[in-house]
Amino acid sequence: MAVNIFTYIIIFIIGTLFGSFFTLSVYRLPIGQDIIHKHSYCPNCSHKLGVFDLIPIFSYIFLGGKCRYCGQKIRIRYLLLELLSGIVFVLFALSLNLDFNNLEQSKIIYFIFGILYIASLFIIAGIDKENISIQKEIMIFGIILEVVYMIYLYILEDFNIYRYVIYLSIMLILLIIDTANLKKKGNNNYTIWILMLSLFMINFSYEYVYILTVIYSCLSIAIVTMVKKLKNKKKPYKKDEPKEIPIGFYMCICNIAVYILTTAYITYLI
């Protein structure tokens, strides 16, 4: 029991570190900055951050939500994303009923691939919410992830991979179509990327999880839209207010939730 509790604490800490990386990726990828080699810095004063400025959750609390160097307030979403990421990592581990006193190779490997899948959705969601755009680099990473997972299932698990091959082939066709569209019109087609995101979800979390994802995404969009309309009744209309809906954002958040709940259902009740 003690070993399990300690290990879940470690998983939570790893999750918060991933959350810190998510915030960095969401900020840098859309503006074409390096997310691996370039040192972390304050977006306001561009001062390089020290080790004690980069401790997830604790740095935000100890610094009072402000930059140590320029005093600029740090958006609370960074703290919330780190906290949420840690919680999601733990929930996913619990959904698989990982017993660190009796580890199973298949569960560990599935956990690793699942975490990378969830990480991809976190970054896609963050960028889409801010820019109404599905980040190409992350989707390509997702395709590579699924190819590696498919190879693992085929070689080590003797698994039927035909469905993976079919969905990945369609994703590659859509990628070619979008590349041609980019050369012709100079911008990516959001609809094509939503379709690719859908295939990415179907391939990894299966069709029934995707169907539930779409249902809950539609409900979430409807609820958020109604709440915003009720709030805007008391405010003057702003012409520059964005009207586009970050569909990918809602799909990613709902898919993560449904994916974890479905995994838990299969693990504990079937």
For residue range 15-45, what is the model confidence (pLDDT) as tens digits?
A: 999 998 888 888 888 888 887 777 788 777 8
DSSP 47: P
What is the residue whose two structure tokens read 């503006």?
31
Residues of the chain with pLDDT under 50: none
The model's pTM: 0.90
Per-residue model confidence (pLDDT) at position 1: 55
Task: Give the pLDDT of residue 232.
Answer: 77
Mean pLDDT of the chain: 87
**Per-domain residue ranges for the chain?**
2-269
- Structure confidence by residue, pLDDT tens digits, 181-192: 877 776 778 999
Q: In this predicted structure, what is the pLDDT of residue 241?
A: 53
- Asked whether 54 and 40 are in contact (CB, 8 A), the reply is yes
Percent composition of the chain: helix, strand, coil (DSSP 3-state, to 5)? 70, 0, 25
**Which of 84, 147, 134, 114 minimizes the C-alpha distance to 251?**
134
pLDDT value for 238: 54
